[in-house]
Amino acid sequence: MLGGPSLKGRLARQQFTAFARSTRSISRFPVRNGKVLGGSTTWRPPVPSIALPAARFNSTSSAANPGEPAPESSQQPTEWDLSNLDIEAIPEKIGYLKELGLDYGWGPSSVVEYIMEHVHMWSGLPWLGSIVATGVLIRFAILPFFFRSADASTRISNNKHIITPLRAKMMSAAQSQNHVEMQKYRADLAKLNSELGIKSSNVFIPMFLQIPFGYGCYRVVSGMAHLPVPGLAAEQFAWIKDLTVADPFYILPLLTSGFLFMSLRKGGEFGNLDQSQQQMRKLMMYGMPAIQFLFLAFFPAALQMYFMTTGLFGLTQAYMLSSSSFRAAVGITIPQQQLPTDTSGITGPDTGRALRLLTQAIEHEKAEIAKTQKAAGNEPNLSFIDRAINNIKESKNQFTKETTKKLEEMSGKGPKTNADGSLAEPARLSDKDRKLAEDYEKRRKEEEDWKREERNFARREAHLKALEREREKAKSAFKNPSTKQ
């Protein structure tokens, strides 16, 4: 027997058996606790031979023939080897997207992912249907906050002729550093809002909810398309054969932009878009859909489908909030028609005459312009590009004027209005003349104060001298009483 029956013999036989089973060099065997296979007489249980990968250095020697290449190992891949992992073999369950690597931690994105997985597993819908259903569910969840915002905005708009002057006075007092007046107007404004049932915070709550959850939906769906999720990559919809790439015909971006255009035309998702700012409204109606189309054109089709669905939901919401009967049914304040204010200060029976004269003046001016253009017939007609450029310039100038007017109204520098919302009569003096008049009044007051002080000083001096004379007379009379007799 090799090595005898002793402990050393057993170790020797174990070492021989290990090397007989392996074709690797001794450097491939890991050293345990600084000991070699035959180096200690301390008893330890036999160590089985396990084929573990280990680093091979050029300085180590091989027990095999150095001239022959080492045969490839026939061992199976370990549990940590992901080279042959097939993600299609992972079963779909709650947490499936996280197992694929779409882990967004804690926040709106993880909430959207949680809802989407539950919709997919519980309803049996495909991934595209789950994406659409998740977007609709989130919009339904925040719909009551949109109703509250529409109610508060409508109340503010209906009482604009009362709120705007008060807010302008408050802003003017704040700019002039008059904190007492500012606090007074602020208290009056808070009291007025309380009486009218206006809560300003309700106006902004839908935006604070829609923006983070909308961004969360964008992150999750974009991650699913770029991974891609196997089930989503295998789905098709109508003309779209692959939902992980953009719509080749740009139909989905066009539909989404069209829904946004019609929604803004009906007053937006809040149903109370300011109709008085025509140029700003035009810019939003045509500019925002164009920008949205440019962004959506290159998104994956699954993401385009999500935005198209939410855009259709927003259009439906805009139509509902623009209906007076629907507002009355759900308890939302109905907007009042704002009558045009009389800027000329003419009221009573003279209003019709003034409007008739104004209409005649406008028609006469148009006739003069047409006559001038006809007389200058030798001028070439403007091309389409020139007309478009001129329209853009006019729109820009009008938009600048409306924006400036809006900012002046908010800061308290705009034209003053009466309690009924009509423009107040303009002041007789300009700001420059008023300042000169105030400076003159200030100088005159200083001169009057100085002259008054001079007169008072002269009177005090005369009074003191009279008292001194009386005192001297009394003193002399007291010293010579015989003179008085």
Place 312 in a pLDDT band, splitting at 50, 70 and 90: very high
The answer to whether residue 352 scores a pLDDT higher than 80 is: no
| Whole-structure pTM value | 0.59
Please tell me the predicted confidence (pLDDT) of residue 413. Answer: 59
| 243 Cβ contact list (under 8 Å, min separation 6) | 128, 225, 232, 233, 235, 236, 237, 300, 301, 302, 305
Residues paired with 32 in a beta bridge: 35
Q: What is the pLDDT at residue 251? A: 93
Contacts of 47 (CB under 8 A, 6+ apart): 14, 32
Q: How confident is the model at residue 130 (pLDDT cuts 50, 70, 90)?
A: very high
Radius of gyration of the chain (CA): 45
pLDDT tens column, 60-94? 444 445 455 555 544 554 555 555 666 666 777 88
171 vs 411, 414, 435, CA distance in Å? 5, 11, 21
What is the rounded distance in angstroms from the CA atom of residue 122 to the CA atom of residue 92? Answer: 12
Rounded average pLDDT over 143-159: 88
* Per-residue H/E/C for the chain: CCCCCCHHHHHHHHHHHHHHHCCCCHHHCCCECCECCCCCCCCCCCCCCCCCCCCCCCCCCCCCCCCCCCCCCCCCCCCCCCCCCCHHHCCCCCCHHHHCCCCCCCCHHHHHHHHHHHHHHHHCCCHHHHHHHHHHHHHHHCHHHHHHHHHHHHHHHHCHHHHHHHHHHHHHHHHCCCHHHHHHHHHHHHHHHHHHCCCCHHHHHHHHHHHHHHHHHHHHHHHHHHCCCHHHHCCCECCECCCCCCCCCCHHHHHHHHHHHHHHHCCCCCCCCCCCCHHHHHHHHHHHHHHHHHHHCCCCHHHHHHHHHHHHHHHHHHHHHCCHHHHHHHCCCCCCCCCCCCCCCCCCCHHHHHHHHHHHHHHHHHHHHHHHHHHCCCCCCCCHHHHHHHHHHHHHHHHHHHHHHHHHHHHCCCCCECCCCCECCCCCCCHHHHHHHHHHHHHHHHHHHHHHHHHHHHHHHHHHHHHHHHHHHHHHHHHCHHHHC
Asked if residue 49 has pLDDT above 50, the reply is: no
Residue 176: its pLDDT value, please?
81
Residue of 312 and 277 predicted with greater confidence: 312
Structure tokens at 63: 């027990």
Peptide linkage before 228 cis (omega within 30 of 0): yes
pLDDT (0 to 100) of residue 181: 86
pLDDT at 131 over 80: yes
- Which pLDDT does position 482 carry in this prediction? 60
Q: Give the pLDDT confidence score for residue 421 in this predicted structure.
A: 55
Residue that wins the pLDDT comparison between 25 and 105: 105
**What is the reported pLDDT for 415?**
59
In this prediction, residue 198 carries a pLDDT of 85
pLDDT of residue 232: 85
Residue 233 has pLDDT above 50, yes or no: yes
* Mean pLDDT along residues 95-124: 89
Nearest to 335 by CA among 346, 344, 326: 326
Whole-number pLDDT of residue 347: 45
The one-letter amino acid at 323: S
pLDDT at 340: 47
Residue 23 vs residue 454, higher pLDDT = 454
Question: What is the per-residue pLDDT for 342?
Answer: 44
pLDDT value at 45 more than 50: no
Q: What percent of the chain has pLDDT over 70?
A: 65
Q: Which two tokens stand for residue 120?
A: 């997919």
Q: What is the mean pLDDT of residues 157-182?
A: 84
Q: What is the pLDDT of residue 114?
A: 92
pLDDT at 332 over 80: yes
pLDDT per residue as tens digits for the range 383-435: 767 777 777 777 777 767 767 776 666 665 555 665 555 566 666 767 778 88
Mean pLDDT score of the chain, rounded to an integer? Answer: 75
- Most confidently modeled range among 10-24, 258-272, 287-301: 287-301
Of 310-314, 391-395, 439-443, give the lowest mean pLDDT range. Answer: 391-395
